[in-house]
Structure 1
Amino acid sequence: MQLTVKDVARLLGTSEKSVYRWMRERGLPAHRVGGQFRFNRAELIEWATAQKVNVSPQIFEEPEAAGPLPTLADALETGGVFYRITGANKEAVLASVVEYLRLPEGADRRLLLQMLIAREKLASTAIGDGIALPHPRHPIVFHMDRPLITLCFLERPVDFGALDGKPVHAVFTLVSPTVRGHLHLLSRLAFALKDESFKQLIQEQAGREQILAAARELSRRFDGVSPNDAQS
């Protein structure tokens, strides 16, 4: 979830006035969303650690932790599958992809694009065989009802700096409201892309319903697979 000024004041054991002062003077990271400041929990933890600011143990808790985890199929159906996405380079492709994401009304797409580009500058999210998994470094980006995975097939392959040297033609973008959901789906997606049948559909740019049907079948198989097995 995204935090308000009031939330941050409580988690840092200070006043809201101090929160605003720390934003101005100490670089407390904040983002404007709908005319109000919102804070990323992961960024807040990093900032407090660097600034040696004491935090409440509640900062490490996620209210959604007790809820059910999303399935790969549900996230992919929510995010959608799109074809012939344009872009002559990595940044242009990401800009096009962000426009296709089914984000909440009023979501700051420019901010998300900046986060995706910043993540790529740290290390390429291309995993080889023409596939990339761009995602923000900090998974808590928007207040959303549920996470999404959007699959975009590019009109022309683009160099993403993959270790195998192959240009990317398929981009899976993951956006989640919680760290827990983000890591869960990332592990499920990684597992799915090790499945030769599913991977072949991606390589062939198969039809939307065919891909979603395969994701549903994999999700049923996941029910008997532990997260540790999925990442092995």
Structure 2
Amino acid sequence: MAKDLSDLLNGGPVLPALTCTSAKQVFTRMSAAMAAVTHVPEREILSAILEREQLGSTAVGHGVVLPHARLEGVTQPIGGFARLLTPVNFDSVDEQPCDLVFMLLAPDGAGADHLRALAKVARVMRQSELRDELRSAEDEQEIRMILGNQVTSTAA
């Protein structure tokens, strides 16, 4: 398994300075960006993401939220990343607002692949140094470099 997220971000959107005021607005903007690259209708992506959120928040703490869904029309796992200029409440497990969003979409029948990809994103985003680097990155290229060159570790 790759030790970075470049395989998931290959072709996926990176939004380095997103301004939103609510979780739903973040999901809507990210769904639109993902629709542009997957050619799956934005409405279908947003619906699947919101349906998953109803099961429980995908905010994992430390300012990170990992919205994800499986959808028909998605041919392989693909991710999109956004850094929010102002953190938003996502009902995180640590009750802190989130500013780092990694949306993951996978094919409808990709149960194990979807879970492996999600686990990889969670492991990478658990690294405090990486989160700090993402928060201080100046543009999309720098964010892609950070997410493409990180070695996973167990650092919290």
TM range (shorter): 0.7 to 0.9
1:195-221 alpha-carbon deviations (Å, 9 max, x no partner): 233222223345333332233333xx4
Q: Which runs of 5+ in 1 are unaligned?
A: 1-67, 223-228
In 1, the alpha carbon distance for the partners of 2:38 and 2:134 equals 27
- Does the 8 Å CA contact 2:27/2:49 hold for their aligned counterparts? yes
1:108-187 matched pairs, under 5 angstroms: 108-136=41-69, 139=70, 141-177=71-107, 178-187=110-119
Query: Which structure carries more helix by proportion?
Result: 1
Distance (Å, rounded) in 2 between the aligned partners of 1:103 and 1:212: 16
Distance 1:195 1:142 in 2: 32
Greater relative contact order (CA < 8 Å, ≥ 6 in sequence): 2
SS in 1 for 2:16: strand
Q: Is 1:91 matched up with 2:21?
A: no
CA gap of 1:100–1:128, structure 2 versus 1, over 3 A, is same
Cα shift readout 1:175-232 (whole Å, capped 9, x = no counterpart): 11222331221111111122233222223345333332233333xx46xxxxxx98xx
The share of aligned pairs that are identical, in percent, is 24
Instruction: Give the TM-score normalised by structure 2.
Output: 0.81
CA displacement at 1:123 relative to structure 2: 0.7
| Count, aligned residues | 151
Aligned counterpart in structure 2 of residue 203 of structure 1, from 135, 147, 150: 135
**TM-score between the two structures when normalised by the length of structure 1:** 0.57
Choose between structure 1 and 2: higher strand proportion.
2
Q: Residues 158 and 216 of structure 1: is their aligned pair in 2 closer, same or farther, counting only changes over 3 Å?
A: closer
Q: 1:194 to 1:103 in 2, by over 3 A?
A: same
Call closer, same or farther: CA 1:198–1:77 in 2, change over 3 Å.
farther
Moved over 4 A (4+): none
Q: Output aligned runs, 1:13-162, within 5 Å.
A: 72-101=5-34, 102-105=36-39, 107-136=40-69, 139=70, 141-162=71-92
Query: Distance between the aligned counterparts of 2:45 and 2:21, measured in 1?
Result: 20
| Structure-1 separation of matches of 2:54 and 2:138 | 30
Q: Which runs of 5+ in 2 are unaligned?
A: none
CA contact 1:75–1:149 (8 Å) conserved in 2:
yes
The answer on 1:215 being equivalent to 2:147 is yes
CA-based RMSD: 2.6
Deviation per CA, 1:18-69, whole angstroms, max 9, x where unpaired? Answer: xxxxxxxxxxxxxxxxxxxxxxxxxxxxxxxxxxxxxxxxxxxxxxxxxx98
